[in-house]
């Protein structure tokens, strides 16, 4: 059994994801889960750790809804 109760699913790895416009108006935790294969709970933990940025801004709330990009 591991002593590490809160393991990092990416172990420090950095991902740059391009979110398709079809995922606009969806919560960031759900989008992160959909694009990475993480569970919603894993996505939530990554979010609250401050490791997620959207348009160069840190997103801490899983309930943040992604906006459609201005083309």
How large is the average pLDDT for residues 27-50? 92
| 21 SS3 class | helix
Question: Structure pTM?
Answer: 0.75
Q: Which whole number is the average pLDDT over 28-43? A: 92
Question: Among residues 35, 55, 33, 54, which one has the least CA distance to residue 44?
Answer: 33
At 6, phi and psi to the nearest 5?
-120, 75
pLDDT, average across residues 39-65: 91
Q: Mean pLDDT score of the chain, rounded to an integer?
A: 83
């Amino acid at each position: 059994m591991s002593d590490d109760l809160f393991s990092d699913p990416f172990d420090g790895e950095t991902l740059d994801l391009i979110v398709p416009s079809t995922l606009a108006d969806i919560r960031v935790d759900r989008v992160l889960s959909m694009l990475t294969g993480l569970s919603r709970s894993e996505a939530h933990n990554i979010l609250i750790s401050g490791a997620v940025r959207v348009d160069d801004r840190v997103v801490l709330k899983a309930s943040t809804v992604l906006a459609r990009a201005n083309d």
